[in-house]
């Protein structure tokens, strides 16, 4: 137990050291030079430079004038990719959700645990923005927030406060769909009753101040009182619901099956949050793809990308690769990493590669792990691509992001280097402490004994050929500063 504790403490201390040091002293100007840039939005640059000033991208291109006082990192042979976005995760919470069904008054802030191993893994896997939200097992969950996986406290981690409420039209555990929908309707009915009562009370109070007696019917009193309500008058239980129906909060609505989609749309339209709704979809929802398309609302697909079902008459198993259905319907979707221990599906870039394998275009696959989830979070002006003006959340891959042999070499968050593979103690341990050798990832295999290898065959896939040392940071001293 003590050993375990000490490990945790070491981890915390290490985290605090890197976190605080990183947060305290961001380099004012940083240039990532010589890498292949996949900006997701815009064209690829075979070899270019990204200039970061005060945590934001200020220049990007083949030729960039690097200020004399910028720190230069040589990333030749590496691939620069936007920090990936996990649009829906409850793994940063100590418990994924509350026992109570209706909990709009909760805030994930109170349960965010910065020492969760998940955040370390997210960083290691190149995920720089995580939308922490209660999981699908709820009726109305709490308010979510967007964090990056570094920082000692929830405050330090936070990228965006609030953002959305979680709702589910699929039944909460030990419930069923009728009860679920009845609870949702009841909640919003109760809200309107509450608002009516509150308005009436406010009107009465305003008359009492003037020593007048109530002179109108209840309908009129409510209408007059409604104008008197200030935001502080709402109690905790209703405040967030008022924001939701007023369009100040987003709604992440979970649907499990195709039938749930229609119910979700109706619920959103009836209660005024349709314009801020985001679908969180189970695999079976592909059956409602036309309905979803008509809404034009953002779509987040669950981590399970293949839907399997047995034809009860023939016994035949029908497999559907869900993202392909959405891509064919021209719906922009976001992917999620798989929370279970698979070596592959835990990586967002591998989830995207699976899409390519199943016929989704590379462009759409790359967008589904970067700009699409950023859009779903309403943060596409800040994150999700490598463009001038955006936050410098950058992943340095050892190769193409859709190649499973590529490793995340470095991660920059707000222009701060938050991760380097060379110093990843846990990864080294998994590769055997005694050797402490981590494959560099850029050793494209030499096909021994190969007969008449035509290079053109390999040109199909972008290859990276660099030496072992390439991509490690060039420590720039005052004498060797460039661009002066």
Tell me which residues touch other proteins (CB under 8 A).
136-137, 170-171, 173-174, 256, 282-284, 302-304, 306-310, 312, 317, 338-345, 350, 353-354, 356-358, 402-405, 407, 430-432, 435, 437, 439, 441, 443, 445-454, 457, 460-461
Residue 106 near residue 134 (C-beta atoms within 8 A): yes
Token couple for 314:
């023939």
Closer residue to other proteins in complex, CB, 454/475: 454
Closer residue to other proteins in complex, CB, 216/430: 430
Token couple for 193:
């009753």
* Closest approach of other proteins to the CB of residue 24, in Å: 33
Query: In sequence order, what are the beta bridge partners of 254?
Result: 168, 280
Closer residue to other proteins in complex, CB, 232/343: 343
* Closest approach of other proteins to the CB of residue 313, in Å: 11
Q: Is the dihedral of CA 151, 156, 161, 166 positive or negative?
A: positive
Token couple for 211:
């020593």
Closest CA to 91 of 126, 123, 133: 133
Write down the H helix ranges in 161-235: 177-209, 218-226
d(CA 43, CA 225): 56
d(CA 48, CA 63): 7
* Closest approach of other proteins to the CB of residue 33, in Å: 27
Closer residue to other proteins in complex, CB, 187/398: 398
Closer residue to other proteins in complex, CB, 32/281: 281
Closer residue to other proteins in complex, CB, 160/443: 443
* Closest approach of other proteins to the CB of residue 118, in Å: 12
* Closest approach of other proteins to the CB of residue 401, in Å: 10
Contacts of 273 (CB under 8 A, 6+ apart): 244, 245, 247, 249, 250, 251
d(CA 145, CA 372): 17
Token couple for 68:
């004399």
HSE-CB at 451 with a 13 A cutoff on CA atoms is 0
* Closest approach of other proteins to the CB of residue 207, in Å: 51
Token couple for 79:
């691939």
The strand ranges marked E within 258-402 are 277-284, 299-301, 306-310, 317-321, 333-334, 394-397
* Closest approach of other proteins to the CB of residue 170, in Å: 7
Residue 421 near residue 463 (C-beta atoms within 8 A): no
Closer residue to other proteins in complex, CB, 76/175: 175
* Closest approach of other proteins to the CB of residue 235, in Å: 32
d(CA 332, CA 269): 21
Place of tokens 């290859």: 463
* Closest approach of other proteins to the CB of residue 113, in Å: 15
d(CA 252, CA 89): 12
Closer residue to other proteins in complex, CB, 52/305: 305
Closer residue to other proteins in complex, CB, 448/479: 448
């Amino acid at each position: 137990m003590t050993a375990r504790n000490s490990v945790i403490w070491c981890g915390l201390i290490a985290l605090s050291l890197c976190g605080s040091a990183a947060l305290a002293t961001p380099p004012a100007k940083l240039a990532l030079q010589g890498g292949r840039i996949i900006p997701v939005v815009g064209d690829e640059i075979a070899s270019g430079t990204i200039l970061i000033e005060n945590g934001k991208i200020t220049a990007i291109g083949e030729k960039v004038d690097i200020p004399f006082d910028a720190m230069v990192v040589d990333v030749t042979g590496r691939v620069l990719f936007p920090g990936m976005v996990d649009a829906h995760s409850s793994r940063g919470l100590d418990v994924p959700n509350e026992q109570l069904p209706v909990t709009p008054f909760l805030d994930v802030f109170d349960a965010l645990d910065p020492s969760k191993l998940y955040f370390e893994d997210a960083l290691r896997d190149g995920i720089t923005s995580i939308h922490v939200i209660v999981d699908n097992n709820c009726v109305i969950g709490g308010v979510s927030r967007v964090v990056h996986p570094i920082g000692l406290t929830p405050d330090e981690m936070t990228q965006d406060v609030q953002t959305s409420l979680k709702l589910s039209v699929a039944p909460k555990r030990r419930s069923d769909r009728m009860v679920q929908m009845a609870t949702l309707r009841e909640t919003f009915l109760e809200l309107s009753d509450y608002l009516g009562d509150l308005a009436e009370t406010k009107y009465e109070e305003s008359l009492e101040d003037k020593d007048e007696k109530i002179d109108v019917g209840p309908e009129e009193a409510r209408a007059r009182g409604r104008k008197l309500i200030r935001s502080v008058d709402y109690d905790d239980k209703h405040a967030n619901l008022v924001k939701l129906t007023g369009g100040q909060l987003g709604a992440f609505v979970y649907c499990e099956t195709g039938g749930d989609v229609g119910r979700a749309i109706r619920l959103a339209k009836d209660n005024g949050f349709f314009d801020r709704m985001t679908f969180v979809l189970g695999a079976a929802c592909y059956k409602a793809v036309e309905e979803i398309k008509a809404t034009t609302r953002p779509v987040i697909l669950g981590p399970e990308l293949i839907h399997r079902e047995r034809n009860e008459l023939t016994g035949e198993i029908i497999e559907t690769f869900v993202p392909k259905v959405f891509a064919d319907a021209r719906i922009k979707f976001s992917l999620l990493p798989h929370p279970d221990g698979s070596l592959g599906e835990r990586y967002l870039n591998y989830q995207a590669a699976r899409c390519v394998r199943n016929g989704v275009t590379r462009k759409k696959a790359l967008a589904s792990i970067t700009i699409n989830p950023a859009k779903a979070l309403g943060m596409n002006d800040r994150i999700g691509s490598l463009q001038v003006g955006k936050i410098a959340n950058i992943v340095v891959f050892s190769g193409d992001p859709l190649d499973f042999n590529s490793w995340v070499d470095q991660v920059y968050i707000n222009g701060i280097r938050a991760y380097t593979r060379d110093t990843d103690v846990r990864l080294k341990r998994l590769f055997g402490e005694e050797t402490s050798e981590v494959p560099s990832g850029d050793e494209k295999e030499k096909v021994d004994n190969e007969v008449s290898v035509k290079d053109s065959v390999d040109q199909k896939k972008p290859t990276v050929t660099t030496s072992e040392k390439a991509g490690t940071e060039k420590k720039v001293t005052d004498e060797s500063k460039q661009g002066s």
